[in-house]
Amino acid sequence: MRCAKCGGIIHLDERCEKCGIDYREMLEGISHDEMRRLFKKIEEQENCCGITDLEASLMACELVNSSLILPGRFDDDGMGFVQLPGPNKREYIALCTDMDEYRKCFDELTPLTNPWKYQLTLLEGGADGFVINPQGEVCFLEKEFLERFFLEDE
């Protein structure tokens, strides 16, 4: 996966090949206060359409440059990701903004960081969007919202 500090290659529980940061240190350094503010505003409005175009663009920029933490599980069938039920019986892939949020419910799983573009490819598996910080300041990013800002040009 990509290092959140320099963009180099970093493997689980190892050091980045480019900058040498330890995997755990990298995860501890991830924090996205602006994204969390925008997520909170989205949830207060109960949908992504309630934010202004400027705020949506700001969030898009933050997401593109983010290293959200994806809880992963490894078994004999390979790697899997946590999907949680949300509104209207829809399924959402769990992501966390930082390790404090991650530890609230996924401490037994493997924390993975990947570029936002990779996270978006996970939606091809049929999920309805992402749930950010499921045990904290939760925010649901619907697939329709993500398509509007990220997927229509691809």
Q: Which residue carries 């019986």 as its tokens? A: 89
Supply φ then ψ for residue 80, to 5 degrees.
-130, 165
Confirm whether pTM is higher than 0.85: no
Same domain, 53 and 17: no
Amino acid 65: pLDDT:
72
- Cα dihedral across residues 131, 72, 109, 11: positive or negative: negative
Same domain, 115 and 136: yes
* Measured distance CA(109)–CA(74) in Å, rounded: 9
Same domain, 129 and 141: yes
- In this structure, what is the dihedral angle of CA atoms 36, 42, 46, 52, given to the nearest 10 degrees? 170
Same domain, 69 and 135: yes
Same domain, 117 and 143: yes
Same domain, 53 and 25: no
Amino acid 55: pLDDT:
67
Selection from 105, 100, 104, 98 nearest residue 82 by Cα:
105
Same domain, 86 and 53: yes
Same domain, 140 and 115: yes
Measured between alpha carbons, how far is residue 150 from residues 92, 100, 120 in Å? Answer: 17, 27, 8
Amino acid 48: pLDDT:
53
Same domain, 25 and 43: no
Same domain, 61 and 83: yes
Same domain, 142 and 101: yes
State the total domains in the chain: 2
* Measured distance CA(48)–CA(111) in Å, rounded: 27
Amino acid 52: pLDDT:
63
Q: Is 3 helix (H, G, I), strand (E, B) or coil?
A: coil
Q: How many CB atoms lie within 10 A of CB 143?
A: 17
Same domain, 26 and 51: no
**Residue 69 in contact with residue 57, Cβ under 8 Å?**
no
**Residue 18 in contact with residue 6, Cβ under 8 Å?**
yes
Tens of pLDDT, residue by residue, the chain (154 residues): 667 667 778 887 888 889 898 887 777 665 566 666 666 666 666 555 556 666 666 677 677 777 789 999 888 888 888 999 988 889 999 999 888 889 998 988 999 888 888 889 999 989 999 999 999 878 888 888 787 767 654 4
Amino acid 74: pLDDT:
85
Measured between alpha carbons, how far is residue 151 from residues 6, 61, 139, 145 in Å? Answer: 25, 14, 19, 9
Expressed as residue numbers, the domain containing 5 is 1-30
